[in-house]
Protein backbone atom coordinates (compact mmCIF):
# COMPACT_ATOMS: atom_id res chain seq x y z
CA UNK A 1 0.00 0.00 0.00
CA UNK A 2 1.21 3.49 -0.78
CA UNK A 3 1.94 5.70 2.18
CA UNK A 4 2.08 8.96 0.25
CA UNK A 5 -0.57 10.75 -1.74
CA UNK A 6 -0.40 10.20 -5.47
CA UNK A 7 1.50 12.86 -7.34
CA UNK A 8 -1.12 15.03 -9.01
CA UNK A 9 -1.63 14.43 -12.72
CA UNK A 10 -0.47 17.69 -14.23
CA UNK A 11 0.41 19.33 -17.51
CA UNK A 12 4.11 20.22 -17.30
CA UNK A 13 5.95 22.93 -19.20
CA UNK A 14 7.16 20.52 -21.91
CA UNK A 15 3.57 19.53 -22.70
CA UNK A 16 2.13 23.02 -23.04
CA UNK A 17 1.13 23.60 -26.66
CA UNK A 18 1.38 27.08 -28.08
CA UNK A 19 -1.62 28.60 -29.85
CA UNK A 20 -4.11 25.82 -29.06
CA UNK A 21 -7.36 27.30 -27.73
CA UNK A 22 -8.79 25.73 -24.58
CA UNK A 23 -12.49 26.34 -23.93
CA UNK A 24 -13.90 25.71 -20.47
CA UNK A 25 -17.39 24.61 -19.49
CA UNK A 26 -19.76 27.40 -18.52
CA UNK A 27 -20.85 28.56 -15.11
CA UNK A 28 -24.01 30.46 -14.24
CA UNK A 29 -23.31 33.20 -11.73
CA UNK A 30 -25.62 33.29 -8.74
CA UNK A 31 -26.20 35.47 -5.71
CA UNK A 32 -24.51 32.68 -3.73
CA UNK A 33 -21.28 33.26 -5.69
CA UNK A 34 -21.50 36.98 -4.98
CA UNK A 35 -22.23 36.45 -1.28
CA UNK A 36 -19.38 33.95 -0.81
CA UNK A 37 -16.93 36.12 -2.73
CA UNK A 38 -17.78 39.39 -1.00
CA UNK A 39 -17.69 37.46 2.27
CA UNK A 40 -14.04 36.63 1.58
CA UNK A 41 -13.00 39.99 0.19
CA UNK A 42 -14.92 42.26 2.54
CA UNK A 43 -16.16 44.40 -0.31
CA UNK A 44 -19.67 45.65 0.27
CA UNK A 45 -21.59 45.25 -2.97
CA UNK A 46 -23.56 48.30 -4.07
CA UNK A 47 -25.96 46.05 -5.99
CA UNK A 48 -26.46 42.38 -5.01
CA UNK A 49 -26.94 41.39 -8.65
CA UNK A 50 -23.74 43.01 -9.88
CA UNK A 51 -20.91 40.46 -10.02
CA UNK A 52 -17.70 41.79 -8.36
CA UNK A 53 -14.99 42.53 -10.94
CA UNK A 54 -12.48 39.90 -9.77
CA UNK A 55 -14.94 37.03 -9.27
CA UNK A 56 -15.14 35.89 -12.94
CA UNK A 57 -11.35 35.79 -13.22
CA UNK A 58 -11.14 33.78 -9.98
CA UNK A 59 -13.73 31.34 -11.33
CA UNK A 60 -11.87 31.06 -14.63
CA UNK A 61 -8.83 29.64 -12.82
CA UNK A 62 -10.95 26.74 -11.56
CA UNK A 63 -12.84 26.37 -14.85
CA UNK A 64 -9.39 26.03 -16.43
CA UNK A 65 -9.08 22.68 -14.60
CA UNK A 66 -12.04 21.34 -16.55
CA UNK A 67 -10.62 21.33 -20.07
CA UNK A 68 -9.34 18.32 -22.04
CA UNK A 69 -5.86 18.75 -20.52
CA UNK A 70 -4.60 18.01 -17.00
CA UNK A 71 -4.26 21.05 -14.75
CA UNK A 72 -1.19 23.13 -15.50
CA UNK A 73 1.69 22.49 -13.04
CA UNK A 74 1.76 26.12 -11.92
CA UNK A 75 4.64 26.91 -9.54
CA UNK A 76 3.78 30.59 -9.34
CA UNK A 77 1.35 33.05 -10.85
CA UNK A 78 3.77 35.86 -11.67
CA UNK A 79 1.49 38.59 -12.90
CA UNK A 80 -1.17 39.65 -15.36
CA UNK A 81 -2.79 42.47 -17.26
CA UNK A 82 -6.53 42.53 -17.38
CA UNK A 83 -9.36 44.64 -18.82
CA UNK A 84 -12.90 44.76 -17.47
CA UNK A 85 -14.94 45.40 -20.61
CA UNK A 86 -18.61 44.85 -19.77
CA UNK A 87 -20.57 44.48 -16.53
CA UNK A 88 -21.52 40.94 -15.47
CA UNK A 89 -24.76 40.30 -13.61
CA UNK A 90 -26.22 37.45 -11.57
CA UNK A 91 -27.87 35.06 -14.02
CA UNK A 92 -25.20 35.49 -16.67
CA UNK A 93 -23.35 32.33 -17.74
CA UNK A 94 -19.65 32.73 -18.36
CA UNK A 95 -16.92 30.50 -19.73
CA UNK A 96 -13.31 31.17 -20.48
CA UNK A 97 -11.20 30.71 -23.60
CA UNK A 98 -7.44 30.68 -23.32
CA UNK A 99 -4.39 29.93 -25.39
CA UNK A 100 -0.67 29.98 -24.75
CA UNK A 101 1.05 32.76 -26.68
CA UNK A 102 4.69 32.13 -25.76
CA UNK A 103 6.88 29.66 -23.81
CA UNK A 104 10.28 30.52 -22.37
CA UNK A 105 12.52 28.04 -20.56
CA UNK A 106 13.88 29.13 -17.17
CA UNK A 107 16.18 27.46 -14.67
CA UNK A 108 13.41 26.11 -12.46
CA UNK A 109 10.79 25.51 -15.10
CA UNK A 110 9.36 27.68 -17.80
CA UNK A 111 7.41 30.87 -18.15
CA UNK A 112 4.32 30.89 -20.28
CA UNK A 113 2.24 33.84 -21.35
CA UNK A 114 -1.40 32.94 -21.69
CA UNK A 115 -4.11 34.98 -23.36
CA UNK A 116 -7.46 34.55 -21.66
CA UNK A 117 -10.90 35.95 -22.22
CA UNK A 118 -14.14 35.54 -20.37
CA UNK A 119 -17.21 35.26 -22.56
CA UNK A 120 -20.89 35.50 -21.61
CA UNK A 121 -23.97 33.68 -22.94
CA UNK A 122 -24.38 36.29 -25.70
CA UNK A 123 -20.84 35.53 -26.91
CA UNK A 124 -19.66 38.95 -25.72
CA UNK A 125 -16.13 39.16 -24.32
CA UNK A 126 -16.70 40.66 -20.89
CA UNK A 127 -13.12 40.54 -19.56
CA UNK A 128 -9.78 39.77 -21.22
CA UNK A 129 -6.06 39.90 -20.66
CA UNK A 130 -2.71 38.16 -20.50
CA UNK A 131 -1.35 36.08 -17.64
CA UNK A 132 2.28 35.18 -16.89
CA UNK A 133 2.76 31.81 -15.20
CA UNK A 134 5.82 29.90 -13.98
CA UNK A 135 5.22 26.23 -14.82
CA UNK A 136 7.18 23.22 -13.54
CA UNK A 137 9.22 21.02 -15.83
CA UNK A 138 8.35 17.32 -15.89
CA UNK A 139 10.25 15.70 -13.01
CA UNK A 140 12.89 13.14 -13.96
CA UNK A 141 11.39 9.65 -13.78
Partner 1 sequence: MARPTVLSYGPVSEHPGIFFEDLAVGQEFASPGRTVTEADIVIFAGLSGDYNVLHTDAEHMKSSIFGERIAHGLLGLSIEQGLASRGEPVAAHGLLVSLKWKFKGPIKIGDTIHVRSRIAALKDGPDARTGVVTVERELVNQVGEVVQEGETQHAVERRVS
Which residues of this chain interact with partner 1, rule CB under 8 A?
A: 5, 8, 33, 36-44, 52-55, 57-59, 61-63, 65-66, 71, 74-84
Q: Rounded to the nearest whole angstrom, what is the least distance from the CB of residue 99 to partner 1 in the complex? A: 19
Q: Rank residues 12 and 80 by Cβ distance to partner 1 and give the closer one.
A: 80
Q: Rank residues 19 and 79 by Cβ distance to partner 1 and give the closer one.
A: 79
Residues with Cβ within 8 Å of 127's Cβ and at least 6 positions away in sequence, in order, are: 56, 57, 82, 83, 84, 85, 86, 88, 117, 118
Q: Rank residues 1 and 44 by Cβ distance to partner 1 and give the closer one.
A: 44
Rg of the chain, C-alpha, whole Å: 17
Q: Rounded to the nearest whole angstrom, what is the least distance from the CB of residue 103 to partner 1 in the complex? A: 19
Q: Rank residues 8 and 68 by Cβ distance to partner 1 and give the closer one.
A: 8
Instruction: Please state whether beta strands 125-135 and 22-23 pair in parallel, antiparallel, or not at all (unpaired).
Output: unpaired
Q: Rank residues 48 and 62 by Cβ distance to partner 1 and give the closer one.
A: 62
Distances (CA, A) of 40 to 19, 33, 36, 70, 100: 35, 11, 6, 28, 30
Q: Rounded to the nearest whole angstrom, what is the least distance from the CB of residue 59 to partner 1 in the complex? A: 6
Q: Rounded to the nearest whole angstrom, what is the least distance from the CB of residue 71 to partner 1 in the complex? A: 7
Q: Rounded to the nearest whole angstrom, what is the least distance from the CB of residue 46 to partner 1 in the complex? A: 8
How far from each other are the two terminal CA atoms of the chain, in whole angstroms?
20
Let me know the angle formed at the C-alpha of 103 by 73 and 15, rounded to the nearest 5 degrees: 45
Amino acid sequence: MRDAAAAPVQCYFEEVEVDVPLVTPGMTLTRAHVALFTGITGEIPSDPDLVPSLLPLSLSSGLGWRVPRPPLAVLAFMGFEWRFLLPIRVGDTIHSVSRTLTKRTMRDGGVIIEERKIVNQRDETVQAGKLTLLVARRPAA
